[in-house]
Structure 1
């Protein structure tokens, strides 16, 4: 008996002849296949596909059965991943990545009608042991507080052409991450018609389906508030950027808008006057944060939106331009900064959860304990 047959957990499903079905049922089958593709997000599908390719390659090298796989085969695969090292001599894959790969293996088996070998106690126990062995504090991005945000935005060239075009867009992205507490994927996915100008609150943003709410069933309205000063007014920044979009690439109009920015004055209609843009300018399903191209003499705003990864890279670049070390920062630093700054200013956990759409108070407390340890701490009441 061969090694692969000994380690076969279950027999593969017996193939059956396709039953005779009519044209209507064939169309419904196409619809059902399409619906099935929406079960998982595109990123998850890509991750699972990569996990399966890697596992299948491992099995091929060692003459093992990949489908259906025996739990012992998966244990060997986990052990193999645990001893692989990167160029710096550290673990090549984190425990989280290993768990994600096991999820990909499980998904492939269940979709094929086979038993899930990763659910075996021998596999789950092995992963728990590896997690304990490697137990370490997760590396979280440092928060960007309000002073940091202002430093980053102030360092941009706002009133010159063509650099001011990118500065206008990047300022909006920064405020969306800090004041709106949006994830980078959420900010990148916004369209103009997701925004609603609100005379009292500033701007209402309907985020829609997100990483934490994929079926779009939770409340999703985010408020981008007026600022007490033009320099801290996220709504003014939004008006300036949308005004450039409305100019539709007209170089002369774009230059006029940049030179007449009046950054020391509100342009959002907060004081009762008209803003640079109106609700009619937001009645479009086109991306809010769009890709830009510029050289020394010309700037072009493309029709396609930016990606979340591009926003992450942009912010790190802007942080470096502001004279700060970008090594420990990322776009998530803005969301973390929202929590930390709000808590330092006396916001309650409930208020922060509502702003950031967190479902658990424990998630907010993680940021609080990490970056604001003196708050609500009895050590401050010892009378020392």
Structure 2
């Protein structure tokens, strides 16, 4: 059985992550990219068997993968390693042409049109069964958006759990233009195995600007997480992960990656890629929602039960605050009274206009006073 996963700079439409033990071949393909005046750049990562089972007491087990350059010019590849190893295990990867082994990230030369063979060495614990994995990411130095992945697992368990998940990555590019700078992506997930499993979800925010904000939420429960979570999945369960990206209206772009893998068999893994562009707030017909003349403080933020909005009025007058969901739906209005000059406060109890508790997530607060319009974002945490 062969599973071919296609990864490129421009599309990552769908992926199937399913129960396949044993599996014959996993190939991750990074498409070549023409660069004006410099020829094509690209490489393949041929991962080989992602799961091997060996007897307890095995001192060393070797697994193999190949990086194949399809580039017309020389490049280098940054190899990023993440170990998911039980206590007492260790692992490294070795470049076969040089015999040099690495247990940490490394930058390796990749000559044009070359094949570079690599070996992964697992050193299992001799006296106790377990399962260990390493996750390898490969990034072109000349084209950092060009990447490939291998997840390689060695097990000394008598048998592996019957687990499986289908992760359907959505289109990756979204342009954000407007006064709020919020973008949402939904990732459907289905449990297809016969045994219960835990899904480990990790959000990679290393390449977003410092002023941007990202998190992910489990849609069924409304729980949100900033970086990492382990979520239980029963056989036959369907759910969605929502990825929220808040640009703060700072123009720019970012790549956001979210990684899913089985806690039982980490070789069953999938990454989704999202690229977000923010052109900044449009000026026509849009108020100055980030008016620096009207300080607006929200405490606490993130909130759980209630939050206080504090602001300073230079002139007394009518004040109102409207609370919106990221898609622009108004759920609550606060105030509507004349407030005196100086510091004023409004309180939100976390409920909508019907008195129902608002689900966890990002909300937008638009404050209108006699002299200015301002806005802010608040995170509802549960």
TM-score by length of 2: 0.24
Structure holding more helix per residue: 1
Bigger relative contact order, structure 1 or 2, given CA contacts below 8 A and separation 6+?
1
Structure (1/2) with the larger strand percentage: 2
- Taking structure 1 as the reference length, what is the TM-score of the superposition? 0.24
